[in-house]
Amino acid sequence: MTPAERKLWLVLRGFPVRFRRQRPVGPYIVDFYCAEAGLVIEVDGESHYNEEGRVRDAKRDAYLQGLGLRVLRFTNLELLSSAEGVASVVERALARPQG
C-alpha cells in the first residue's frame, strides 16, 4: 500500500462496517470496498490527473455505479494532509442509505 492508502486503511478500521482492500469488482480491482454499504473508495495518485486518467476513472466509476455502488475518490494529498476530513466524508456516506 502507498502511504496514503495505509493512512486510509487505519481510518477505515475505525468504522463499524467492514472494508476490504484491493477487491475485484467486475473487471476492476478497487482500492477499498464495503459490500454492506455498497461503497467503493479510491485513492488517486499522479496517474489520475491527466486526461487519459480522468477518462479511465470516469469509465470505471460509471461501471461501478451501474452496479449500484457509490464511489468516493480522494487524492493522496487529501489523505496525507487531512485524514480527519476524509473520515468525515466517509462517515457521511455510510450514514446515507444506499441507492
Instruction: Give per-residue pLDDT as tens, 22-41.
Output: 999 999 999 999 999 999 99
What is the pLDDT at residue 97? 74
What is the pLDDT at residue 99? 61
What is the pLDDT at residue 54? 85
Block means of pLDDT (10 residues each) for the chain, 99 residues, are 93 95 96 96 75 88 97 93 94 85
Distance CA 95, CA 23 (A): 22
What is the pLDDT at residue 31? 96
In our burial notation (b when 16+ CB lie closer than 10 A, e otherwise), range 72-82 reads: eebbbebbeee
